[in-house]
Structures are given as structure tokens and as C-alpha cells.
Structure 1
């Protein structure tokens, strides 16, 4: 296990910088600076959909116009993103859907991928005990059993209004008829070296080197055929029909672990959402196997005793507190969290106000605490990703869905299953392939998140709903691997403490600290020189992230009942659409 002192001297490798670069969706817009004139959210009277793709957002609105509710629209958006946002939208991945119905019912649908039955704790280690390069991140052996289709089916069956075929049809048409390639998608497909390693991915997404250009029409006939099978035969086709047989055959031929039995046996899990409060506002967020909700509530609880509004957004004092509280919460994440169906997770303790108060008491207001000196606040248990995407839907009745799902890395494992058009995840890297060693996102994780058959890997996804006086106020989420948590956290703080509107809160610069490596990641142009000097004087080590953090997609309901939608300027293809 790497010592904490070694980690303190970590230098960002080229590989890690590349991971962060692609992990932070968005990258192509000019920086959002503090002096910029405030943008306003998109305003609509009845419904709103915010997602990473204008095409997918419009699909959601069309479903709502046809009488569907927020759940119907969310499923249709998720399926459409599998076509129009292939870097993260998916059929071959998994995620988390947080639902709040207008009558107050709230649920968390966990459709996270699971480890195949043949997976084992040390499957990514060589005979010498060293991690095998790329085995957990690239190719067939990196994939967990996909959960997206099953999760969407559960949500639709229990909480939707429309039939399965009705919500699949728009995605099938988009795949069949195609859509114009944006500049951002052109660039993403061109630089995705992992796609070039697999014949079907190279042919479909890179035209065997004759790359798509902005304005070209991207048609995906194999994916359209898969969606048509799902449309006609139902969602179990993905797990028991022709699609499942194609996945299992490709796995068997290429060293993968997923079998027909794994696919047939996959089931999503409905869980009770986590609940907390911050300055009188109720926070509803996702439970384990997401670490996001616990870390979010833990940091907010620590910060509740400080007057962030008086310190001002972006001040060195406010940033210092933010960094120090994240440092402590991520230390707890590293060693204490995993799949609650396999390991005990001390959720109640980690989200309690008293525990946060004790952690907050260890913060020196004038000096950074070295991460080597910060250990989990509880004994360790016995022993992700960045290329994710988020969307939020609010319908006319007040039903809310906020959903984050992922392939993990950009374009997942790089594999497109022959004859299906389906990109597979590389979610196995979100386990602790070697407990105590950093994964692709430099997250150090403990034995609680080690690999076991049927187990779900720990996640950072943090779909969240905030209530004011018992009524829904806003819903938010983001991609970005571990920066998901810090993105959602800072949007919440910007709205509650700094009184920003939803669009301002999303536009504002962000920073991130995850305990190890002991470095503050901050966005270009997101911090003034004197603020940077003040933080460095306190002992913080700052690193410029070469791209922007996250792609927050949120919706707020104002006091008149209007829906206010906001998409992140860091993703030029994102759009909030309503009527």
C-alpha cells in the first residue's frame, strides 16, 4: 500500500491529466469568470428538461406533451442520450435515479452495474501483486453487468404512465435516422484513442479514420436494431434475448467475464433516499453504494456552523473551509464506504450533525491540514468516473426525476459489442482493484470496496433534490467522477448561502479536493491571483485542472410555480428545454 507521505509528493502524470481532461465534460467554451454578467435560467410555465444533449432534452419535452410524466420523460431522455451522447449516455452502463412524486413519495432506484459471477478480488493483479495496466479500464474484462435498461424498466413500471415501447421509440428513430454531429462530438470522437482499438467502435464512431465532421449525420443502424428489439420485445430482451446472446458471445470470445446467467440474473434495487438538512432546507440525496450523498451531507453539516455568506463566494477564507471539509469527508469515503449489501456502511454516523461537528473541530482556520494527518473518523470496515452524464426532469404535476448514469470512462471500455451498437462500461475500475492503491481517478479506496461477485462498485454520483418549507425547490446533479460531489456541493452552497440564481450557481467557478492526492484542483480563470496566494500561504497545494469540472443540469421551481432550467456552459451541447 502506498504510504500517505508518498502520496503527498504526488505529481500529476500525463495520464492523470488526460483522465481529468476528458472527465470534465465540457471544455470547449470560454471560461466562466467572476466578472461575467449573470445569465438567467430558461423559464417555462409547465415542464422542464435539462440534459447534456439538446436532442435528448427535446425528446423528454415531447414525451411530456404526449401525456407522459417526469419518469416517462426521464427514461426516454436516458435512452436518447445513449444515441446522441455516446461518451456517457448508454445502454451498456448503469446509474442512479432519484424520484420524488408530487404526492411526496420519494425513492432511489439503484441500477448500478454489478461484478460478474466469475469476478474475484485480485482479478486485476499480476503474479507479482502489481496492478495490470489497463485491464480494469480497457476492453471486455473491464465491464460490469449493465443495469441501465433494467433500471429504466423498474422506474417506468412503478412510477410512469406510458408503455415501454412509447418511450423507446424516439431513441430508436434518432439512431435510425441520425442527427447532425456537433463540434464537441466531432472533437470527442476524433481524440478517443480507446475507440480506435476495437473494430466495431472504430467503424461506427470514427469511420475507420475518416472522422465525422461538424454537421455530418451520425446514423447508428446496429444500435437502432437493438432499440427496435427492445421496443417490440420489451426490456428483458437486453438480458435474455438476442442482445444478451450477442453480449455473452462477444465476452466469451474476447476474455470478458459476463455470461448469459449474469445478464439474466441482474436486478435493480430500490433504496430509501438519504435525508439531511442545511440551514433549514431539506436535502434528499442518494444512499450507498453511492458515496455522493453521504459526502455531500457530511460536508454541508461541517459547514453549517460557518457564515459562508459573510465570507463571500470564492474568498480564500471560504475556499479554505471548503477544501478542509472535503478533505475530511473524502478520507471517510476512502476507507468506510462500499456496497451496503456486502459491507456495513455507518451511514447514520457519517451523516450526523454531531459527527460533522467533531470533524469540523479539527480544522485550523489559518492552516491547511496535510492529508497524511487526516484519517477516517471511524475505524475502517473489516475488510469512479468521470465520463458520466446527468439529466433532470420536472413535469406539470410537480413530479421530479434527477438521474445520473455512466459508462465510467469516456466511451466506457471502448468496446462496442458486435452487431448491437452498444458501448460497454469499464465500471470494474470503480472497485478497489488493489485496496489502498489509487484508481484511474487517483481515488484511494479500501477493502470495503474490493471486488466480489454480484457486488456494486462504490460511486460518486450524487443526484439531489432540495426542499424549501417541505416543497421541492431545486434538483441538481452532474458528471465528473469524484468531482461530481464537489460540483453538486458548490451549486447547493451558491444557491443557499450566496443567493445565486440556478444558472449563476452552475456557471460559477469550482474547486475540488478528494483527500488523496493532496492537491486542490481548480478551474482555469476560476480564482484570482491574490486568492491563490492566500491559499498557498495557508499550506494548500493548487493544481490547474486543464478542463472544467462537471456538467451540472438542474431545474428549480420558483415561488410562482414556474420551472427554471439551467444547463452547464462547460458542455456546449447541453440544453434546458421547457414549455
Structure 2
């Protein structure tokens, strides 16, 4: 274990250089933290498969990356079995508690109580991460469950060197007043001081919770002492999650959304995530765009990409939600080549379309999350995105348990029937109902060529996830970019409402920006979109190439 900690410490000091790739022959893990990536690779070296490595990496992230790695949130997993040429997904998105209802965040006048759906424990959904990881292991893992959770326990008990990034988080957050919640003590050492950069950071309460999960599987979280403490903490601090909510929670295995692009097969998450449907719809539109004659990142290129995004997000808003509550979603139609032709035919190549909140996609007829990618020696691949929603989720959690709860209830449509020109959507498919999973933008994706994994990719970033992954997939498949360059290339974001193009600051030329404005687009600069973690497979030599987004200060691709 000491060897792991030392190597991980060296990794986080040197692993992240922009436009750099890591090469491996036998297996690779790319995650938001070098220590977690190393844990996953260690499992691969012990004979574990991609699922085993993913489980171990996810639990390690819960220890070393608490701003998004979690056991108090949820997520999605896409798994490709290279030997069987079969792909499946596991939906472990959080659920609305049994006491939830469609107007729970509204005042007596029917107006949204500002911040109520994102702040405090009322905003917490029933966590799904432990159930999802357990289901993945029980169905597709090889090594014993306990051996996959133990590395995370070791990291929590013995500590690991705190990174400069997380130390800075600690310094910034401890200007806040003290409470009896976990946040004020999260980055404190045994002496009550902020853990210094490079100092071993220990989390004994989290180690105890993880031990229960190690020994009892998902029952160690959803039943027994941990569940009782979750219910007690919720009741005493404004939450509505109960023991019954926890006992009833189950992850769901679903068939992936599948599309094609110029000879490649694309597999991504179906609803409850909107990512796969929107990704395939946009890739289908771009297949029609004649990109051979359009310069990459020119104004003409950005315009077409933005218009494809606009249409996909309008359709997302109108149609998508939890499939267990919306059995008639037109998924086949939305992802069909014929539908894409109709959408593409409606694009004016010389001027911007208009986003109309009263018409959704009919007009065109005729924040924190983390991702990691894994591949093993046999070519089996996992793309997994997990989330707490905001940075550190609700920022609340019992000190006895050592983890933070999500604030995912904010991903539901909060005001039934009300859609504005900003960020609020009120369509029925994603309105709050008890035990319903809130719509997500997470887009873990695996692209295959001739039945074998070719690209494993995903990103955090709220609603921007879909477009960040879309552009990276397009960069690799259409332009044959190296994975590091595809990740670092300029990204834009258009999500129908608000009706504007967001672009990464300093990466769009002023000339391109001015032409877009002349075409009728509203544009606005943002710092960056997402933190992509990707792996490509060389189809001839079979080696793996991994890269982590340079915006992730602790991220690393680790292989062997």
C-alpha cells in the first residue's frame, strides 16, 4: 500500500501536461485523480476485468475526490464485452424520495423558492452509486467484492497525500462558520488543522462506512447502521429520505442507445440519461453536413454544430425523462437517420435559427460530476460517469458516515408546465414524482469499430456534458484526432434555452465570433466545458492511448 501511495503522489505532481498521452498494452484507467487511476490499474494487474477496475476506481474516487466522487450520489455505466461483442448499461441515477411531489419547491403562489431545489437536504435524491457498482460487480465482475472496496478503505484509514488542488479547496471553504455537518471538518487533520499540501489526509468515518459496504455489499449502505444514520440525519436536518426509501432503491440494467457514424458504432446511455439520445441525434445530423468541405472550427463549422445542438436540446426538453414513468418516449424516431435528415434540412447555413420556448422541437420539423474510462487486457471497456450534482453536492453529510449527499433533485423540472427563455423547463416527462429518476445529461460513451472498442469517453459538466462529449467523439471519428488533441480542442455549447452559443474563453478567434454574431447568434465566453477522460484503441497494433483533460489538476491516465 505504501508503494501505491508514493507512486500516486509522484503521479499527481507530474501526470498532467496539456496535449499529452499515455500509452499502454495491457490495460488503462483515466480518471479525475491519479491515485484512483492507480487503484484501478492495480486491480487490472491482479487479474480483474474492466468492471472490477471500475468498481475499485469509483470507491477510491469517493475517498480522494470528494467534490464529485461519491457514495452519496448516482450515475451511469456503459460496459462493452469485447469477447461477446455485447454492450449493456447500468442506470444508478438517484431517485426522488417517496415523500416528494411536483410542487415541493414552490411557494403559495406557485413560484419557485429561490435555491430550494439545489440547497439543503430537501434537494437530495436517494443515492444510487453503491447499488449500481454492486449490480455491475455481481453481473460482470471477476474478483471478490471485498478486494475491490478494500483499496478505498486503506486510503481512508491510512490516508493519502492531499493534492494542491484539494488543499486550496480546503483553504477556501474554511472561511465558513462551523456547523455539526461534515463540511467544516472534511479537510481537517487529527489536530483540527487544515491538512497541508502533501500531508496524509485520513477519513476514519468514511473508512467505517466503506467497511460496512465491503462486508455486506449494497445492504451495508441501504440497510443496517449506515441506513439508520442516513435516515436520522435526514430527519433532523430537513431531508425527506427515509429507511423505506433506501430499502426500496434498486439500480436498473438497460439496453444502450446505439447509433452509427461512417462505419463506427456508437453506444451510450439511454434515458434516464438524455445524453445518448442527444448524442446520436447530433452525430446523425453532422453525418449529413458535408464536413469535408468545411474548415474545422470555422464560423461555418461552429454554426452547424450549434444548430445541431439547438435541435437536440429542444427535443430533449420536450420528450425525455425516466423511462419507468414515460414508456412512450419516441427514442427510435429521435435517433433515426430519417429524423436527422428532417432536422438538417431545416438548418439555414447562413443564419441562426430561433429558440422558441412555446414550440420546442416542433419549430424545426421538416455542474459536480466526474467521469472515468477503463479498458482491460482483453479489450473489455467501461465508460462511467458519476455525480453529486453541484461541487460537493448538497455540502451536507453526517460526520458519523464521512460522505456528502447529492443535490440532484434540482435536475427535475421544478415548476410544472412552465418553460422560460432561460434555464427553466416545465415539461411533463421530467416533473417530480415519488421514486422517479431525474433526467440527466451524463453521456458515458463507447465507440466500436468492427465489434471492438475504439473510443471510451465521457465528461462531467452538467448540461454541457452532452455537447462536450459530442464534439470530442466528432473530433476523433471525423477528423481522426489524437485523443489528447480531441479533448483539448475548443468546445462550444448551445442548449436551445438560453438562446446563445457559449464558447471556451480564448479558444475562439475574434473573427469567428464576429461572423457568428453577424449570422444572428448571441455568443458568450466561459472558462471551460467539462473534464474529459478518454481512451482510444489502435485498431492495428492494439495498444491503448489515454488522456485526461488538462483542466483537471489531479487527473491522470495510468496504464501498464
TM range (shorter): over 0.9
User: Cα–Cα, structure 1 residues 197 and 499, in superposed 2: closer, same or farther, change >3 Å?
Assistant: farther
Structure 1 CA distance, aligned partners of 2:223 and 2:495?
40
Pairwise CA distance, 1:374 = 8.5
| Partner SS state of residue 289, structure 2 | coil
- Paired residues of 1:414 and 1:424 also in contact (CA < 8 A): yes
1:82 counterpart (62, 66, 71): 62
Counterpart selection for 2:299 from 310, 316, 330: 316
Give the match's secondary structure for 1:522. Answer: strand
Q: Report what 1:8 is aligned to.
A: none
Aligned 8 A contact 1:195 1:415 in 2: no
Tell me the residue number matched to 1:349: 333
Q: Secondary structure at the match of 2:360?
A: coil
Q: After superposition, what is the alpha-carbon deviation per residue over 1:65-88, rounded to whole angstroms, capped at 9, x for unaligned?
A: 111111000000000000111111
- C-alpha displacement of 1:458: 0.2
Provide the C-alpha distance between the structure 2 equivalents of 1:483 and 1:400, rounded to a whole number of angstroms.
24
Kindly tell me: are residues 456 and 509 of structure 1, through their superposed partners in 2, closer, same or farther at Cα, counting changes over 3 Å?
same
- Which of these residues, 247, 264, 273, is aligned with residue 247 of structure 2? 264
Which of the numbers 186, 211, 217 marks the counterpart of 1:228? Answer: 211
1:200-222 CA-to-partner distances (Å, cap 9, x unmatched) read 32332254995444223321111
Deviations 1:25-70 (A, max 9, x none): xxxx9997xxxxxx34211111010000000000000111111111
Instruction: Provide the residue aligned with 1:134 in structure 2.
Output: 115
Query: Is residue 2:195 matched to residue 1:215?
Result: no
Range that drifts further, 192-201 or 401-410: 192-201
Q: Tell me the SS of whatever aligns to 2:469.
A: helix
Q: Say which of 300, 306, 314 aligns to 2:289.
A: 306
Bigger drift between 214-223 and 244-253 goes to 214-223
Q: Deviations over 1:261-284 (max 9, x none)?
A: 110110000000011111221111
Q: 2 CA distance for matches of 1:86 and 1:362?
A: 44
Counterpart of 2:259 (choices 269, 276, 279) is 276
The match for 1:182 is 163
Unaligned runs of 5+ in 1: 1-28, 33-38, 380-385
| Deviation, structure 1 residue 372 | 2.4
Greater mean deviation of Cα atoms: 197-206 or 356-365: 197-206
Deviation at 1:154, TM superposition (A): 0.4
- What corresponds to 1:468 in structure 2? 449
Distance 2:201 2:417 in 1: 42
Residue 334 of structure 1 and its aligned partner are, at CA, apart by 1.1
For the residue of structure 1 that corresponds to 2:361, the secondary structure is coil
Cα deviation, 1:96-122, whole Å, max 9, x if unaligned, reads 000011221211100011111111110
Q: Secondary structure at the match of 2:246?
A: helix
Q: Which residue of 1 aligns with 2:354?
A: 370
Spell out the pairing of 1:76-155 with structure 2 (5 A cutoff): 76-102=56-82, 103-155=84-136
Cα displacement (A) at 1:346 = 1.1
Q: Is the Cα contact below 8 Å between 1:195 and 1:411 reproduced in 2?
A: no
Do the aligned residues in 2 keep the contact of 1:87 with 1:410 (CA within 8 Å)? yes
Equivalent residue for 2:323?
Answer: 340
Match of 1:71 among 51, 57, 69: 51
CA distance in 2: counterparts of 1:490 and 1:532, whole angstroms? 18
- Within 5 A, what are the aligned runs for 1:243-254? 243-254=226-237
Q: Distance in 2 between the 1:254 and 1:373 partners?
A: 37
Residue by residue over 1:110-144, the C-alpha shift from the partner in whole angstroms, topping out at 9 and shown as x without a partner, is 00111111111101111111111222112211111
Distance 2:293 2:167 in 1: 44
Deviation at 1:307, TM superposition (A): 2.2
Query: CA–CA distance in 1 between the matches of 2:175 and 2:53?
Result: 32
| Match of residue 375 from structure 2 | 394
TM-score (norm 2): 0.92
Task: Judge conservation of contact 2:71–2:403 (CA < 8 Å) in 1.
Answer: yes
> How many aligned positions are there?
539
Mapped partners of 1:192, 1:351: distance in 2: 44
RMSD: 2.3
Once residues 413 and 203 of structure 2 are traced to their aligned partners in structure 1, the CA distance between those partners, rounded to angstroms, is 35
Once residues 126 and 438 of structure 1 are traced to their aligned partners in structure 2, the CA distance between those partners, rounded to angstroms, is 17
Rounded Cα–Cα distance in structure 1 between residues aligned with 2:263 and 2:217: 44
Distance 1:232 1:196, change over 3 A: farther
Taking a change above 3 Å as real, the CA distance of residues 221 and 438 of structure 1, as seen in their structure-2 partners, is farther
Distance across 1 between alignment mates of 2:126 and 2:414: 17
1:42 aligns with 2:22: yes
1:241 Cα offset (Å): 1.3
* Preserved contact between residue 102 and residue 416 of structure 2 (Cα < 8 Å): no
The offset of 1:190, in angstroms, is 3.8
Distance 1:185 1:128, change over 3 A: same
Distance in 2, matches of 1:70 and 1:62, equals 12
Instruction: Go from structure 1 to structure 2 and tell me whether the alpha carbon gap of 1:50 and 1:548 turns closer, same or farther (over 3 Å shift).
Output: same
Local SS of the residue matching 2:316: helix
What 5-or-longer segments of structure 2 have no aligned partner? 1-14
How far does the alpha carbon of each residue in 1:500-535 deviate from its partner, in whole angstroms, 9 at most, with x for none? 111110111111010111111111111011111111
Q: Structure 1 length as normaliser, TM-score? A: 0.89
Tell me, in whole angstroms, the C-alpha distance in 1 between the residues paired with 2:57 and 2:545: 18
1:327 equivalent to 2:301? Answer no
Q: Which whole-Å CA distance do the structure 1 matches of 2:17 and 2:536 have between them?
A: 24
Residues in 2 aligned to 1:56 and 1:482: alpha-carbon distance in whole angstroms: 25
Judged with a 3 Å threshold, the aligned counterparts in structure 2 of structure 1 residues 565 and 445 are, in CA distance, closer, same or farther, namely farther
- Conserved 8 A contact 2:181-2:399: yes
Q: Is 1:82–1:89's contact at 8 Å kept on the other side of the alignment?
A: yes
Q: 1:431 aligned to 2:412?
A: yes
Which residue in the other structure is 2:39 paired with?
59
Task: Check if 1:567 corresponds to 2:548.
Answer: yes
Q: Tell me, in whole angstroms, the C-alpha distance in 1 between the residues paired with 2:175 and 2:379.
A: 42
